[in-house]
Amino acid sequence: MVIALLLLAQSISVGGDVPNPLKLDAAALQAMPRASLAVKEGERERKYEGVWLHEVLRAAGAPVGEGARGTAMAAYIRTEASDGYQAVFSMAEVNPLLQDSPILLADRVDGAPLDAKHGPFRLVVPRDKRPARWIRMLQKIEVHQVWK
C-alpha cells in the first residue's frame, strides 16, 4: 500500500470538467512556465518554485482569465493528496484577473526538490493565514462545474 501511494504521487492528474485532461510528471511540470514565491513558514523565509495553478488549469482547458464568465464562475477545484487529504478552491480564487495572490503548484523549495514528506508536488496558498490548504503530496486536481 505504501509503495502504491508513492507511485501515485509521482504524477498529478488534472481532470473533471475540462476538455483536455492531463497527467503531469516532474518533467512535464518543468516544461511549463516557471514561477517562484517567497513565503514565511513560522520564523523562516522559504522560496518555493513551480507553476501557477491557473497555468496548469489553462493547459487542461479550464476557463481561467478572460474565459471565466457566466457558468464558469460557478466552478470549483477539488485537490487531493496521496494520503486522501482534500481541499477545495473556487475558480475565482485561482483566476489571476480576480486575485492578486496566485496559488503555486510547487515542486521545489529553497533550490531543492520537495522532500518525501511534502512532495513531490505541493500547493502553496500564500494568502491563507494557516496552511490548511497547502496540499502536500498532491496527486489530483479536478475542476467541477456546479451548473452546466
Question: Using CA atoms, how far apart are residues 104 and 85, in angstroms rounded to an integer?
Answer: 18
Task: Kindly list the structural domains of the chain, giving each domain's residue range(s) and its CATH number in brackets, ordered by start.
Answer: 2-145 (3.90.420.10)
* pLDDT tens-digit readout, 48-78: 999 999 999 999 999 887 766 666 677 899 9
Q: What is the mean pLDDT of each run of 10 residues along the chain (148 residues)?
A: 48 95 95 95 93 95 76 86 96 85 95 94 93 95 86
- The model carries a pTM of 0.89
Q: What is the pLDDT of residue 64?
A: 84
Q: Is 84 left (phi over 0), alpha (psi -120 to 50) or beta?
A: left
